[in-house]
């Protein structure tokens, strides 16, 4: 199986964003030895570095070297810091770099993420683009910015970047969770102002008529290893965890464990829904996080007696590594 493997090399970070899902408190790091054992246990098709600022892991450069030697394509998600501390010749080895930006203006971004963050990111984007790299901006869809993502897509599109959108997940609190109406309005605005590259957000994929899924990729094509050496079907998975040592023993049989089967289970609340083959109940982590593991996705229109239709313009053929990891939507403004 050609897996999309998410690695959180560290939960350390120089920022303290209010919507962050990383484990708080003590700092944990994956080691080079851990990464070697992961790569020897799974058929790794690609690696996405996320969670904290990966450059703060003490073995960051050795790990990048190792992944390069194994010819594994790697994407890096960063708030700008890791990019700043990575020399050009190493930066160029990443298949894609993603910068975390949630707002289309400097004032809003800095107020939310930290003073000076906007400028650090813009200089990182310019540097990566100069090196001829594929660059995306990664935004979290929240109740604070649901109506601003179209503008953000246009802004970053003009810089030569894609926009990837993950819906906020209530890992620590529900403070930034969009309402039902905000969720659907966000995608209407986004699709109106940009062209669609890919979408694995099951409800959006279903009600835009894309129909290219068999449920979310989490726990079947995509897997995440956290800095605490836990293996999860999805980065937001709140259910029972599997340890890295179990992965080393079980290898790809890990996908048969109850925790992983649970992440693929169609919830009872979806009953005999006609869209189930594509949607399969939507995002399973979200169902657990909102305390309704047997319920349909909280943003499902059908269970509210409603219907949603999204129309989009396809961006044309573009293969991005993060297209197949977690429930995510990528556009070009």
| Nearest Cα to Cα of residue 130 among 119, 138, 122 | 122
Residues 6+ apart with CB under 8 A from 185: 146, 147
Per CB under 6 A, contacts with ligand SF4 among 199-218 are: 206
Per-position b or e across 97-112, b if 16+ CB within 10 A of its CB: bbbbbbbbeeebbbeb
CB of residue 81 to ligand SF4, shortest distance in Å: 8
Of the candidates 92, 88, 79, the one whose C-alpha atom is nearest the C-alpha of residue 50 is 79
State in angstroms the smallest separation of the CB of 311 from ligand SF4. 18
Query: Applying CB under 6 A, does 285 fall inside the site for ligand SF4?
Result: no
With vertex at residue 203, the alpha carbon angle to CA 202 and CA 208, rounded to the nearest 5 degrees, is 105
Using CB under 6 A as the binding rule, whether residue 281 contacts ligand SF4 is answered as: yes
Binding residues for ligand SF4 restricted to 291-310, rule: CB under 6 A: 296-297, 300, 302-303
Minimum CB distance to ligand SF4, residue 79 (Å): 4
* Alpha-helix residue ranges (DSSP H) falling in 102-173: 106-113, 117-130, 149-158
Find out whether 3 and 221 touch, Cβ atoms under 8 Å. yes
Taking the least distance from each CB to ligand SF4, the nearer of 15 and 248 is: 15
Asked if 213 and 176 count as a contact pair (C-beta separation under 8 A), the reply is: no
Strand partners, 5: 47, 223
**x/- letters, 246..275, toward ligand SF4 (CB under 6 A):** ------------------------x--x-x
Residue whose CB is less far from ligand SF4, 16 or 71: 16
Q: Mark 78-107 with x for binding to ligand SF4 (rule: CB under 6 A) and - for no binding.
A: -x--------------------x-------
* Using rule CB under 6 A, residue 166 touches ligand SF4: no
Q: Which x/- pattern, by CB under 6 A, does the window 1-20 give for ligand SF4?
A: ------------x-xxx--x
x/- letters, 17..46, toward ligand SF4 (CB under 6 A): x--x-x------------------------
Q: 273 or 290: whose CB is closer to ligand SF4?
A: 273
Q: Name which of 171 and 195 has its Cβ closer to ligand SF4.
A: 171
Distances (CA, A) of 182 to 97, 108, 115, 171, 262: 28, 19, 28, 19, 28
**Is residue 276 a contact residue for ligand SF4 (CB under 6 A)?**
yes
Which H or E element spans position 188? helix 180-193
3-state secondary structure at position 196 = strand
Helices 106-113 and 117-130, packing angle to 10 deg: 110
Count, residues near ligand SF4 per rule CB under 6 A: 22
Taking the complex as a whole, the smallest distance from the CB of residue 16 to ligand SF4 amounts, in Å, to 5
Q: E strands, the chain, where?
A: 3-7, 44-49, 74-78, 96-100, 134-141, 162-167, 195-199, 222-225, 230-232, 242-243, 313-314, 329-332
Q: Which stretch binds ligand SF4 (CB under 6 A): 122-130, 163-171, 246-254, 278-286?
A: 278-286
Q: Footprint of ligand SF4 on this chain (CB under 6 A)?
A: 13, 15-17, 20, 22, 52, 79, 100, 206, 270, 273, 275-276, 279, 281-282, 296-297, 300, 302-303
């Amino acid at each position: 199986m050609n897996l999309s493997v998410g690695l959180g090399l560290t939960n350390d970070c120089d920022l303290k964003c209010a919507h962050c899902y990383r484990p708080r408190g003590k700092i944990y790091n994956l080691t080079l030895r851990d990464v070697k054992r992961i790569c020897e246990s799974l058929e790794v098709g690609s690696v996405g570095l996320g969670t904290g600022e990966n450059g703060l892991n003490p073995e960051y450069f050795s790990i990048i070297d190792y992944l390069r030697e194994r010819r594994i394509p790697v994407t890096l998600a960063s708030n700008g810091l890791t990019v700043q501390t990575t020399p050009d010749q190493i930066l160029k080895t990443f298949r894609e770099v993603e910068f975390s930006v949630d707002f289309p203006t400097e004032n809003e971004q800095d107020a939310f993420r930290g003073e000076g963050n906007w400028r650090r990111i813009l200089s990182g984007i310019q540097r990566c683009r100069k090196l001829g790299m594929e660059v995306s901006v990664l935004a979290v869809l929240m109740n604070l910015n649901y109506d601003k993502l179209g503008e953000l897509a246009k802004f970053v599109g003009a810089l030569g970047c894609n926009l990837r959108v993950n819906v906020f997940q209530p890992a620590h609190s529900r403070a930034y969770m969009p309402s039902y109406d905000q969720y659907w309005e966000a995608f209407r605005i986004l699709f109106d102002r940009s062209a669609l590259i890919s979408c694995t957000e099951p409800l959006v994929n279903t009600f835009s008529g894309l129909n290219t899924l068999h449920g979310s990729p989490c726990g079947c094509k995509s897997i995440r290893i956290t800095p605490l050496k836990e293996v999860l079907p999805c980065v937001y998975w709140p259910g029972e965890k599997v340890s890295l040592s179990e992965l080393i023993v079980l290898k790809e049989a890990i996908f048969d464990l109850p925790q992983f089967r649970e992440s693929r289970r169609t919830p009872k609340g979806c009953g005999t829904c006609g869209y189930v083959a594509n949607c399969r109940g939507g995002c399973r982590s979200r169902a657990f996080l909102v305390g309704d593991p047997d319920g349909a996705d909280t943003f499902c229109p059908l269970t509210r007696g409603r219907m949603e239709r999204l129309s989009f313009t396809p961006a044309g053929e573009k293969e991005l590594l993060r297209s197949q990891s977690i429930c995510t939507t990528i556009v070009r403004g």
